[in-house]
Chain A
Amino acid sequence: MGNKLNDIIKIFLLVIIILTSNVSAQNDSLKNIDYILENILEDATIEQENSQLYDLIEQYINDPIDLNNSDKSEIMNLPFLDIESANAIVKYRKDNGRIFSYSELKSIANISTKSIKILQAFTFLERRESEIDSSFLENLKIKLRSRFSQNIQEAEGYKNGFYIGTPAKIYNRLLINTNQKIQIGILTDKDAGEKSISDFHSYYFLANNLINGIKFIGGFYTMEFGQGLALWSPYSFSKGSDATNSIIKRARGISPYTSAGEYLYMKGAAFKYSSNFFELSSFYSFGEGSFNLSQNTYGFIFTLQPINFLKLSALYMIENQNIFDNGSTTKSELNEKHISFNYELTYGDLFLTGEFAIYNSSLANINTLQLSLLRSIIVVTSIRNYSNTYESKYGQGFGETKNTNNEFGIYLGIKWRPDFGIINFYLDQFKFPNSNASIALPSSGNEISFSYELSPVNKTNLYFRYFSENKEVLELVNNENIIQNRKTDKFRFELIYKVSNSIQLKSRVELLSLNMVNINEKGILLFQDVKYNYSKQLSLHGRIIFFQTDSFSSRIYEFENDLSGVMTNPALFGSGVKWYLLLKYNPINHLFISAKYSELFKPNEVNIGSGNSLIKGNIDNKIALQIDFTF
Chain B
Amino acid sequence: MNLLKKIIFVLLIFCFASFGQIKPGAKQISLSHSDIALCNDVYALFNNPAGLSQQNWREFSIYYSPSPFGINKLANSSAVYHEPTNYGSFAIAYSNYGFELYKENNLFVSYSKIISKNFFLGTTLTYRNLSIKNYGSDNAITIIIGGLAYLTDNLRIGFAIDNITHSSFGKENNQIPMIFNFGFSYTLLSKLIFNAAIEKDIDKNSSLRVGIDYEIIKYLNLRIGAMNEPSSFSAGLGINYSIFEIDYAVFNHQDLGFTHQIGITLQFGSDKSRTERIKEYLSGQ
Q: How far is the CB of A615 from chain B (nearest CB, A)?
A: 15
Q: Which residue of chain B has the shortest Cβ distance to A602 in the bound complex? A: B202
Is the interface on chain B under 10, 10 to 19, 20 to 34, or 35 or more residues? Answer: 35 or more
Cross-chain contact A499 with B116 (CB below 8 angstroms): yes
Cross-chain contact B87 with A526 (CB below 8 angstroms): no
Q: Mark B138-162, 1 if CB is under 8 A from A, else 0.
A: 0001110101010110010101010
Q: Tell me, in angstroms, the Cα distance from A460 to B143 when the chains sit together.
A: 29
Q: Which residue of chain A has the shortest Cβ distance to B118 in the bound complex? A: A499
Q: Which residue of chain A has the shortest Cβ distance to B150 in the bound complex? A: A499
Cross-chain contact A546 with B115 (CB below 8 angstroms): no
In the complex, B165 has a CB within 8 A of chain A? yes
Q: Tell me, in angstroms, the Cα distance from A604 to B166 when the chains sit together.
A: 13
Q: Which residue of chain B has the shortest Cβ distance to A14 in the bound complex? A: B123
Q: How far is the CB of B251 from chain A (nearest CB, A)?
A: 24
Cross-chain contact A19 with B115 (CB below 8 angstroms): yes
Cross-chain contact A528 with B182 (CB below 8 angstroms): yes
Chain B residues near A546 (CB-CB < 8 A): 180, 200, 202
Chain A residues near B88 (CB-CB < 8 A): 19-20
Chain A residues near B131 (CB-CB < 8 A): none
Q: Tell me, in angstroms, the Cα distance from A564 to B121 when the chains sit together.
A: 28
Q: A interface vs B, CB < 8 Å?
A: 4-5, 7-9, 11-12, 15-16, 18-20, 23, 457-460, 495, 497, 499-500, 502-503, 505, 507, 509, 524, 526, 528, 530, 544, 546, 548, 575-577, 579, 601, 603-604, 618
Cross-chain contact A575 with B116 (CB below 8 angstroms): no
Chain A residues near B122 (CB-CB < 8 A): 19
Cross-chain contact A524 with B165 (CB below 8 angstroms): no
Cross-chain contact A575 with B202 (CB below 8 angstroms): yes
Q: Which residue of chain A has the shortest Cβ distance to B50 in the bound complex? A: A19
Chain A residues near B113 (CB-CB < 8 A): 19-20
In the complex, B64 has a CB within 8 A of chain A? no
Chain B residues near A575 (CB-CB < 8 A): 202-203
Cross-chain contact A577 with B202 (CB below 8 angstroms): yes
A15 interface neighbour in B123, B157, B203, Cβ under 8 Å: B123
**Among all A-B residue pairs, the 6 with the closest Cβ atoms:** A499-B119, A546-B180, A500-B116, A546-B200, A19-B113, A528-B159
Knowing A457-B151, A497-B151, A530-B147 are in contact, say whether A544-B161 is a contact too (CB < 8 A): yes
Cross-chain contact A8 with B174 (CB below 8 angstroms): no
Q: Tell me, in angstroms, the Cα distance from A458 to B145 when the chains sit together.
A: 26
In the complex, B75 has a CB within 8 A of chain A? no
Chain A residues near B40 (CB-CB < 8 A): none
A5 interface neighbour in B112, B141, B157, B166, Cβ under 8 Å: B141
Q: Tell me, in angstroms, the Cα distance from A579 to B142 when the chains sit together.
A: 17
Chain B residues near A604 (CB-CB < 8 A): 174, 203
In the complex, B125 has a CB within 8 A of chain A? yes
Cross-chain contact B149 with A8 (CB below 8 angstroms): no
Cross-chain contact A20 with B87 (CB below 8 angstroms): yes
In the complex, B242 has a CB within 8 A of chain A? no
Chain B residues near A500 (CB-CB < 8 A): 116, 118-119
In the complex, B167 has a CB within 8 A of chain A? yes
In the complex, B206 has a CB within 8 A of chain A? yes
Chain A residues near B161 (CB-CB < 8 A): 528, 544
In the complex, B102 has a CB within 8 A of chain A? no
Q: Tell me, in angstroms, the Cα distance from A352 to B202 when the chains sit together.
A: 50
Q: How far is the CB of A616 from chain B (nearest CB, A)?
A: 14
- Additional pairs, 18, CB under 8 Å, beyond known A20-B113, A457-B151, A526-B200: A8-B143, A8-B165, A11-B164, A11-B165, A19-B113, A19-B115, A19-B121, A19-B123, A499-B115, A499-B149, A526-B206, A528-B147, A528-B182, A544-B180, A575-B202, A604-B174, A604-B203, A618-B173
Chain A residues near B123 (CB-CB < 8 A): 12, 15-16, 19
Cross-chain contact B115 with A507 (CB below 8 angstroms): no
Cross-chain contact A497 with B149 (CB below 8 angstroms): yes
Q: How far is the CB of A319 from chain B (nearest CB, A)?
A: 51
Q: Tell me, in angstroms, the Cα distance from A457 to B186 when the chains sit together.
A: 13
Chain B residues near A618 (CB-CB < 8 A): 173
Q: Tell me, in angstroms, the Cα distance from A497 to B118 when the chains sit together.
A: 11
Chain A residues near B115 (CB-CB < 8 A): 19, 23, 499, 503
Cross-chain contact A4 with B116 (CB below 8 angstroms): no
Cross-chain contact A457 with B165 (CB below 8 angstroms): no
Q: Tell me, in angstroms, the Cα distance from A266 to B165 when the chains sit together.
A: 47
B157 interface neighbour in A9, A507, A576, Cβ under 8 Å: A507
Cross-chain contact B200 with A548 (CB below 8 angstroms): yes
Q: Mark B198-213, 1 if CB is under 8 A from A, else 0.
A: 1010110110000000
Cross-chain contact B198 with A576 (CB below 8 angstroms): no
Knowing A4-B167, A544-B164 are in contact, say whether A577-B178 is a contact too (CB < 8 A): yes
Cross-chain contact B180 with A603 (CB below 8 angstroms): no
Cross-chain contact A603 with B167 (CB below 8 angstroms): no
Q: Tell me, in angstroms, the Cα distance from A7 to B140 when the chains sit together.
A: 12
Cross-chain contact A524 with B180 (CB below 8 angstroms): no
Query: Within B177-191, which residues are at the interface with A (CB < 8 Å)?
Result: 178, 180, 182
Cross-chain contact B155 with A507 (CB below 8 angstroms): no
Q: Tell me, in angstroms, the Cα distance from A579 to B165 when the chains sit together.
A: 11
Chain B residues near A9 (CB-CB < 8 A): 141
Q: Which residue of chain B has the shortest Cβ distance to A19 in the bound complex? A: B113
Identify 12 residue pairs between A and B in the complex whose beta-carbon atoms are under 8 Å apart, listed by A's number: A5-B141, A7-B165, A8-B142, A16-B111, A16-B123, A500-B118, A509-B182, A544-B161, A546-B202, A575-B202, A577-B166, A603-B173
Chain A residues near B121 (CB-CB < 8 A): 18-19
Q: Tell me, in angstroms, the Cα distance from A228 to B147 when the chains sit together.
A: 47
Chain A residues near B173 (CB-CB < 8 A): 603, 618
Q: Which residue of chain B has the shortest Cβ distance to A603 in the bound complex? A: B174
Cross-chain contact B165 with A548 (CB below 8 angstroms): no
Cross-chain contact B111 with A507 (CB below 8 angstroms): no
Q: How far is the CB of A597 from chain B (nearest CB, A)?
A: 14
Chain A residues near B182 (CB-CB < 8 A): 507, 509, 526, 528
Q: Which residue of chain B has the shortest Cβ distance to A4 in the bound complex? A: B167
Q: Tell me, in angstroms, the Cα distance from A528 to B181 when the chains sit together.
A: 9
Chain B residues near A503 (CB-CB < 8 A): 115-116, 119
Chain B residues near A460 (CB-CB < 8 A): 151
Cross-chain contact A19 with B111 (CB below 8 angstroms): yes
B147 interface neighbour in A459, A502, A505, A579, Cβ under 8 Å: A505
Chain B residues near A12 (CB-CB < 8 A): 123, 125, 143
Cross-chain contact B125 with A526 (CB below 8 angstroms): no
Q: How far is the CB of B217 from chain A (nearest CB, A)?
A: 31
Chain B residues near A20 (CB-CB < 8 A): 87-88, 113
Chain A residues near B143 (CB-CB < 8 A): 8, 11-12, 15
